[in-house]
């Protein structure tokens, strides 16, 4: 990860990592030849099994790094349905996006998980820029690439958006009708949260934070240091004191159990220029494709799925599916919850692709 020159931590006061557990995920990344950090990840391509294909392609002049997963006994002469997987905020293709891409490939789909532009192993400067227009374009770009991949039936393309990737997916499919079936998992409305605060806890400081974003953009335009918001590192004590499940478990996931050197909670402060004036749920009536939204019944982010779902008034075969007992982050990795989500996704895609 590139050294950060200036950081404003919006969530909590940061300190250096001081636990041996912080190296667990990074060790897994270094041991896996594809740097995958999820349980049951592919370690080698074997004939007759699900295989992984690291690829790169250009999107608006930026190099995009992605992994394509092909089903067992894949052959270019056959025609396969495909699914694009959009990763969470702060996430990358080697974490939960890769896990779901692999599980769907095991069910017979060609899948793609790509790092967002300006993030992960993809190109783009300044690093960790996190603007909605870019993230939405990333999803269109996955469709561009995977529909040209050998063996893919372009008429049977689905999409899965996880967390922030779910919010951006809802927006992408409003216009991109190449996607014939749309699913989200633990959807996170990045614009609403950056504007109002998580669970609407920062309504009183909206104008103040917009001024901070404006000052950050002015500083960038002047050629000065990039100002970053978010979380660079965190101690075990600080994790334990974090009150919300989303952030406490998220810190454990991203900085402990599933840590990866390309993954970060940071984003440029100037990104708030765009994030705070954006909302994933505007124009939801433009979604006419079949829609499945999945959330944990105990997720403290569930309110965002509950807000979005009713607004998709024209979606066909619309369904809200709750994973009983699951929190937001647990849907990323906990085997029993992942199994429930994958089984529901496979049933959904088989019905609609």
pLDDT at 10: 34
Which residues, at least 6 apart from 329, have a Cβ–Cβ distance to it below 8 Å? 245, 246, 249, 250, 252, 253
Domains of the chain are: 7-352 (3.40.50.1820)
DSSP-assigned beta bridge partners for residue 68: 53, 112
Residue 15: is its pLDDT beyond 60? Answer: no
Mean per-residue pLDDT, 15-29: 53
Backbone angles phi, psi at 112, to 5 degrees: -135, 135
**Separation of alpha carbons 209 and 225, rounded Å:** 19
User: What is the number of other CB atoms lying within 10 angstroms of the CB of residue 10?
Assistant: 18
pLDDT band at 24 (very low <50, low <70, confident <90, very high): low
Q: Is 223 left (phi over 0), alpha (psi -120 to 50) or beta?
A: left
As a three-state string, the secondary structure of the chain is CCCCCCEECCCCCCCCCCCHHHHHHHHHHHHCCCCCCCCCCCCCCCCCCCEEEEEEEEECCEEEEEEEEECCCCCCCCCEEEEEEECCCCCCCCCHHHHHHHHHHHCCCEEEEECCCCCCCCCCCCCCCCCHHHHHHHHHHHHHHHCCCCCEEEEEEEEEEECHHHHHHHHHHHHCCCEEEEEEECCCCHHHHHHHCHHHCCHHHHHHHHHHHHHHHHHHHCCCCCCEECCCCCCHHHHHHCCCHHHHHHHHHHHHHCCCCCCCCCEEHHHHHHHCCCCCCCCHHHCCCCEEEEEECCCCCHHHHHHHHHHCCCCCCCEEEEECCCCCCHHHHCHHHHHHHHHHHHHHHHHHC
Phi, psi at residue 28, to the nearest 5°?
-60, -40
Question: Distance between alpha carbon 191 and the CA centroid of its chain, in Å?
Answer: 14
Write the pLDDT tens digit of every residue in 226-272. Answer: 999 988 889 999 999 999 999 999 999 999 999 999 999 899 999 99
Residue pLDDT, tens place only, 92-147: 999 999 999 999 999 999 999 999 999 999 999 999 999 999 999 999 999 999 99
Contact 136, 117 (CB under 8 A): no
Is-contact 66 115, C-beta < 8 A?
yes
Stated length of the chain? 353
- Rounded to two decimals, the pTM is 0.92
The per-residue pLDDT for 25 is 64
Please tell me the distance from the alpha carbon of residue 312 to that of residue 282, in angstroms, as a whole number: 10
Strand order in the sheet with 179-185: 51-59, 62-70, 110-114, 80-86, 152-162, 179-185, 291-296, 319-323
Report whether pLDDT(22) > 50.
no
Q: What digits encode the pLDDT tens for the residues 66-91? A: 999 999 999 999 999 999 999 999 99
Report pLDDT digits (tens) over 329-350: 999 999 999 999 999 999 999 9
25-59 pLDDT, tens digit per residue, is 677 888 999 999 999 999 999 999 999 999 999 99
pLDDT, averaged across the chain: 93
Distances (CA, A) of 157 to 50, 94, 235, 349: 19, 22, 42, 9
What percentage of residues in the chain have a pLDDT greater than 70?
A: 93
Which CA distances in Å does 219 have to 222, 226, 229, 337? Answer: 5, 7, 14, 44
pLDDT at 2: 32
pLDDT at 179 over 50: yes
Residues 191 and 272: their CA atoms lie apart, in Å, by: 9
Lowest mean pLDDT among 22-36, 183-197, 255-269, 303-317: 22-36
**Share above pLDDT 90 across residues of the chain, in percent, rounded to a whole number:** 90
């Amino acid at each position: 990860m590139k050294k950060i020159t200036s950081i404003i931590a919006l969530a909590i006061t940061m300190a250096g990592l001081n636990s041996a557990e912080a190296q667990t995920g990074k060790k897994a990344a270094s041991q896996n030849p594809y740097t995958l950090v999820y349980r049951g990840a592919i370690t080698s391509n074997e004939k007759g099994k699900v295989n992984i294909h690291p690829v790169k392609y250009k999107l608006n002049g930026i190099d995009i790094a992605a992994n394509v997963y092909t089903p067992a006994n894949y052959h270019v002469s056959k025609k396969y349905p495909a699914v694009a997987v959009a990763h969470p905020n702060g996430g990358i293709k080697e974490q939960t996006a890769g896990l779901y891409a692999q599980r769907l490939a095991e069910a017979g789909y060609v899948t793609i998980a790509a790092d967002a532009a300006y993030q992960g192993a993809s190109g783009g400067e300044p690093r960790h820029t996190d603007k909605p227009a870019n993230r939405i374009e990333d999803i269109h770009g996955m469709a561009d690439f995977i529909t040209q991949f050998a063996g893919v039936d372009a008429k049977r393309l689905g999409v899965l958006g996880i967390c922030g990737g779910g919010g951006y997916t809802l927006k992408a499919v409003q216009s991109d009708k190449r996607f014939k079936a749309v699913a989200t998992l633990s959807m996170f409305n990045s614009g609403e949260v950056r504007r109002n605060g998580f669970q609407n806890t920062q309504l009183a400081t909206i104008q103040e934070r917009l001024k901070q974003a404006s000052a950050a953009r002015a500083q960038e335009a002047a050629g000065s240091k990039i100002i970053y918001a978010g979380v660079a590192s965190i101690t075990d004590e600080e994790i334990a004191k974090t009150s919300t499940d989303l952030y406490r478990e998220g810190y454990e996931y991203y900085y402990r159990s599933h840590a990866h050197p390309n993954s970060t909670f940071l984003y440029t402060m100037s990104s708030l220029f765009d994030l705070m004036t954006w909302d994933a749920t505007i124009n939801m009536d433009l979604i006419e494709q079949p829609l499945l939204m999945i959330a944990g019944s105990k997720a403290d982010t569930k309110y965002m799925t509950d807000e979005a779902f009713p607004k998709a008034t024209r979606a066909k075969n619309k369904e809200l599916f709750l994973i009983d007992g699951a929190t937001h982050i647990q849907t990323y990795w906990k085997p029993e919850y992942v199994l429930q989500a994958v089984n529901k996704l496979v049933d959904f895609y088989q019905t609609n692709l």
